[in-house]
Structure formats: structure tokens, C-alpha cells
Structure 1
Amino acid sequence: MPVLLFWILFGVAGWLFYKKFVADAEKLSKKNKRVRKEQKNGADGTLVKDPVTGEYRVKRDDE
């Protein structure tokens, strides 16, 4: 029984690691795609409109 519990925990940890890895890879891919697009256009950043104030600002990396 303890061996079965160990393998179940090992499998769950592996699955969680895989999901985190895939999410990070997708995030990095999107960031690289945006950077390449900005370099191609000669832009310094992407502007986004603040819905509260209505002002435009440069998009942060964590958005």
C-alpha cells in the first residue's frame, strides 16, 4: 500500500510539473512572438488603453 501511494504522488507531481512547464512554454512563445513583431515593425512597445482613465500606456510583460 505505501508503494502505491508513493507512485500516485509521484504521478500527480509529474503531471503538475508538466502542466507548469507547458504553461511557461506557451507564455514564453507568446512573448517572443510579440517581440519579433515589434522588431519587424520598428515599434518600441505595444500600447493598451486603460479602461478606467482612458489613457494609453505601454503594455507590461506580465499582461
Structure 2
Amino acid sequence: MFHAIRPSVRERMRLLEQIDARDREDGTPQAQRLGQIPPARDKFLALLAVNAPGGVAGE
């Protein structure tokens, strides 16, 4: 489950990394920057989402 990351998710991850890098360089206050979560919590959220009823889910 955690080995096959869809290309659309990889692209979104790259975009978020670029935004984070830009925000760190331009002095965006920390409270307004993107937040990261630990990998264990990320996997927990993925498990919750995979077991949720069908519909729209945020990635």
C-alpha cells in the first residue's frame, strides 16, 4: 500500500516541497508556512482514508 505512490500524488508532493522551500527563503512567518507530519501519522491517515466510504478525500 505504501510502496506505489501515484504520479499525481508525487507531483503534488514536489509542488508542496517547492512552496516550502520558497517560503523558507522569503521569510514567510512559520505560522503561515506548510506544516509537516511525521511519516507514522501519515501512514495512519492513509489507513483511515482507505477504509472510509467512497467519495472525495483530500490528498
TM-score range, shorter chain: 0.3 to 0.5
TM-score, structure 1 length as denominator? 0.38
Bigger strand fraction: 1
Larger RCO, structures 1/2 (Cα 8 Å, 6+ apart): 2
Bigger helix fraction: 1
The structure whose Rg is larger is 1
